Chain A
Amino acid sequence: MRLRLALALVGMLVIAACSGDGGATTSPEMSPGASPEMSPEMSPEGSPMAGGPTVSAIQERGTLVCGVKFDVIAFGFRNPTSGEVEGFDADLCREIASEMGVEPEFVEAISANRIPFLLEDRVDVVISTMTRTEERLGQIDFSKIYYLAGQRILVKSDSDYQEVADLVEAGVPVCSGQGSTSEANLRDAGVSEDNLVLFATYSEAAQALLDGRCDAVSTDDSILFGLAAQNDGLEVRGETFTEEPLGIGVKKGKEDLVELINGVLDEMAADGRWVELYDTHIKPYTGEDAPEPPLDM
């Protein structure tokens, strides 16, 4: 009697677990022998364009799952009052989703888990201030470059440090993100391993800077501007000591999706939507006019 009850409970748990999958875990269905149909123009009625296997699977599912940051102002930031995810990266997700005729869905992807999320098909794309590097190209595919950032330093306004070289010389702790290109660049610039104070999110790094647990935070200026905007008494300083081309990450083997994304980016560069996004999200923090879209860098 008790054994049957236990088996029934286990059975119910198994069924609940199987049916409780979020949309992020489905993988694209490959129909045998199918070749991807690509029509670059939208059909006259404005219905979503036919795509290859990945795109079709996403369209069938009805949502595009994007891995974005939730704590980086200007790129991926979840508004605490409205719960909406705002920023350049988030809006790119919306543009791509609308091109495919699906709803965008946002999942938080921190630097350390965004590529594993892609490889595990927990997200369709990663748009989270991710730099395209040779090493990452070995793991995943990238779209064209949607923004060119550079690494600088963020310090307290009363600090003497101006450049990353000053930090290296003084041998002081520098905060950055675990698993980011930023921490690798800091090591290349001469910061010792022991002086790298690494956190899972940049908001934690900024907190540590404010507490005095490190003397600077260093990562892409795009992220630093956001941190400076949120905290009085912090300044972004120094020449950019790296060039960080940001691209949209896609798991290998989904060429049709990459082509679609590149198509969207090209259109946005041509019809002024890219500049619009820049003016909305980035210009308030840099004060500079939009540069040329860096798509083909």
Chain B
Amino acid sequence: MFGQVIANNLELFVQGYLTTILLSVTAMTAAVAIGSVMASMRVWGGPIPSAVAGFYVEFFRNTPLLIQLFFFAVILAPANLGITRDAVIVAIIGLSIYTGAFATEAIRSGILAVHAGQLEAARSLGLGQLATIRLVVLPQAIRTVIPPLGNVASALVRNSSVAYAIGAREFLFMGLLVQSRTFSPEPYLGILFGYWSLTIPLAFALGRLERRVAFAR
């Protein structure tokens, strides 16, 4: 009967599913934080912060996530930097840094979309650089930024599966584990529909959010 294999191993699947949600939520939060800082550095920073942020984006956007995760797994391990040997934590760090590069570009486009007049008005009112960014630019940039950031979030949910290769016990790992123990192809379908059950509601929620914050141009 279809579904039997999944039902027999439900505990593993559920654990993996929850871990994937954990990876996605924490990494996205961190990515937005990193992205805000890096985007600000690129737009308003002097030559050095701008170059640093630029290098960060170009490097982590243009190299394979899988290799980045392998690298972090080894570097953070006890024999080297000794920060962690938990694959899930390594995955969170790696995914945050990788996704942060994409988030940076999305946020940067949002910042640049804010009319220059806004900045001038804020400065003429006596607001400092940081306050200007925080109170005037970023809130308005949010509107432009939601669609690309939404894509980044959806991609992150799917990319989190790459962490299986470093041994993180997330959803894909669990599905493959059950497949290798039972030789049934059922888990493959389970994995597909599992990820779908995460990305579809996300797309739906983002659609509603976009409509709410949309400019009336």
A and B: bona fide binding partners: yes
Residues on A lying within 8 angstroms of B by beta carbon are: 111-112, 115-116, 139, 173, 178-179, 184, 193-194, 197-200, 207-208, 210-214
Residues of B whose CB lies within 8 Å of any CB of A are 12, 73-74, 77-80, 82, 85, 87, 165, 167, 169, 173, 176-177, 179-181, 183
| Smallest beta-carbon distance A170→chain B, Å | 14
- Chain A residues lying within 8 Å of B85, measured Cβ to Cβ, are 173, 211-214
Given contacts A197-B167, A198-B167, contact A211 B176 (CB under 8 A): no
Contact status B165-A200, CB under 8 Å: yes
Q: Contacts A194-B169, A200-B165 given: A212-B78 contact, CB under 8 Å?
A: yes
**A116-B183, A194-B169, A213-B87 provided; 16 other pairs, C-beta below 8 A?**
A112-B176, A112-B180, A178-B176, A179-B180, A179-B181, A184-B181, A193-B169, A198-B173, A199-B167, A200-B165, A207-B74, A208-B77, A211-B77, A211-B78, A212-B85, A213-B73
Could you tell me if B180 and A111 are in contact, using CB atoms closer than 8 angstroms? yes
Chain B residues with Cβ below 8 Å from A207 are: 74
Alpha-carbon separation in the docked complex, A193 to B183 (Å): 19
CB contacts (< 8 Å) of B165 on chain A: these are 200
B167 and A212 form a contact (CB under 8 A):
no
- When chains A and B are docked, how far (Å) is the Cα of A111 from the Cα of B85? 24
Smallest Cβ-Cβ distance to A180: which chain B residue: B180
- Give chain B residues whose Cβ lies under 8 Å from the Cβ of A197: 87, 167
Alpha-carbon distance between A148 and B49 when the two chains are bound, in angstroms: 62
Question: Pick the contact of B79 from A139, A193, A194, A211 — CB < 8 Å?
Answer: A211
A187 nearest in chain B by CB position: B181
**A203 CA / B181 CA spacing, docked (Å):** 21
**B residues less than 8 Å from A184 (CB atoms):** 181
Interface centre among A173, A178, A184, A214 (most CB of B within 10 A): A178
| Shortest Cβ distance from residue A131 to the other chain B in the assembled complex, whole angstroms | 14
Q: Which residues of chain A come closer than 8 Å to B177, judged between CB atoms?
A: 178-179, 198
How far is B80's CA from A211's CA once the two chains are assembled, in angstroms?
7
